[in-house]
Every structure is written in C-alpha cells, then in structure tokens.
Amino acid sequence: MAARVFIIGGPGSGKTTLADRLAASMGVPSYDLDWVGFRPDGTPLPSEEQSAIYLRIADQPGWVVAGNYNDVTAPMCEAAEAIIWLDLPWRVAAWRIVTRYLKAAISGNNAYPGIGSLCRFFWRTRRYYLDIPRPWFDSDGSPRTRGAVVRLVAVRWERVIHCRTQAEVDEASAVVVARAALSK
C-alpha cells in the first residue's frame, strides 16, 4: 500500500521534512507544493498549467506530496493511498517556523530576509491554526485553515492518518514505509 502519500497540515507542521524522509525510504519522488506550480521568482503559473502539473503528479505510480493548497489538492487526495494529516499544536509549529527562519538566516539561505518578513509570516500562519480564514486564501477563494483541511480530509477519512504529536508522526511514518515495502 501507500506508494502514493499525501501530507497535509499547517505551516511549520513538518510536511516537507516528513515528505523528504518518506520519499527517500520508499524510493519515490517528493513534491513540495510550495514550489510545484510556481515560477522560480515565486509567482504562480497560470491555473491551467498548475492543474496539468498536479494531474501529472497524481497519475504517477508512486510519490509523496506535501502541501496545503486546498484548491489543487483534490486530485492528489483522490489518488493517495495514505493521507497524513499533521495536526500539531500552534506552539510546536511556531517554534519550528522561528527555528527554520533563524537557521536560514545564519546560513545565508533565507529567501525572505528581515524580521518583518518573519513577523508577517508568523502572523499569517497563526491564522491557520486559529481557523481565521482571512486574509490568507487559495486562488479559488477557499481558506487555508485547519477547518478547511478538516473538510478536505473528512470525505476520505478511511485513508487519513491523523497525527497530533511528533510521536504519532514517527509512528505513521513507520507504518507507511512498512506498507509500501509490503506492496512491492
């Protein structure tokens, strides 16, 4: 099972880290929706080009996709054999966001330098966890909030692995990798 894994959750929940770890363990490509469907300068591709990219990914025999873009994730949620929902508390995500920012700043790799950038991102991402839909919307107007994730995964609940702690994330990772190994 689980040659196709979709990871969803709030900013700072560990989606990219888990996706890279699972993809390496399973021998499949990893896709971070923060970068897929965007030009190198960060501007989004036209929606029809994005949709075509997402459909091509969903049609592949194996992958791990990480992201929280509710307007484009439906094809991947449908194709996924496992959906891992990283539903960690805001305090954990906040710590990770600040730590990630500082590591990038120290290494000189921070794509969003300046304390103002960190504060704006921190404030916007907090709204996800508090379930406040504005001003952070997807291109179709649907909010990127915890409540929107609940609605997205509710109809697929039989494939959802809901993780609220790092221990549950580690356990889910082991289960998904074991299932993928058994399906080969």
Long-range contacts of 88-91 (CB under 8 A, 24+ apart): 88/9, 88/10, 88/13, 88/14, 88/163, 88/164, 88/165, 88/166, 88/169, 89/129, 89/164, 90/10, 90/126, 90/129, 90/130
Q: How many CB atoms lie within 10 A of CB 59?
A: 10
* Residue type present at position 80: A
pLDDT band at residue 138, thresholds of 50, 70 and 90? low
Asked whether residue 132 is assigned to any structural domain, the reply reads: no
Q: Is the pLDDT of residue 170 over 70?
A: yes
Share of the chain above pLDDT 70, in %: 90
Residue-number span of the structural domain to which 178 is assigned: 4-88+144-183
- Looking at residue 9, which CATH number applies to its domain? 3.40.50.300
User: Distance (Å, rounded) from C-alpha 147 to C-alpha 154?
Assistant: 10
Q: Which H or E run includes 87?
A: none
CA proximity to 126, closest of 138, 114, 135 = 135
Asked whether residue 123 is assigned to any structural domain, the reply reads: no
How many domains does the chain divide into? Answer: 1
Asked whether residue 138 is assigned to any structural domain, the reply reads: no
Report the chain's mean pLDDT, rounded to a whole number. Answer: 83
pLDDT tens for 40-88 read: 777 777 878 888 888 888 889 999 999 876 566 777 788 899 999 999 9
The sheet that has 30-32: what strands, in order across it? 30-32, 63-66, 4-9, 82-86, 160-163
User: By three-state DSSP, how is residue 31 classified?
Assistant: strand
Asked whether residue 19 is assigned to any structural domain, the reply reads: yes
pLDDT tens for 4-19 read: 999 998 888 999 999 9
Higher-scoring residue by pLDDT: 172, 149: 172
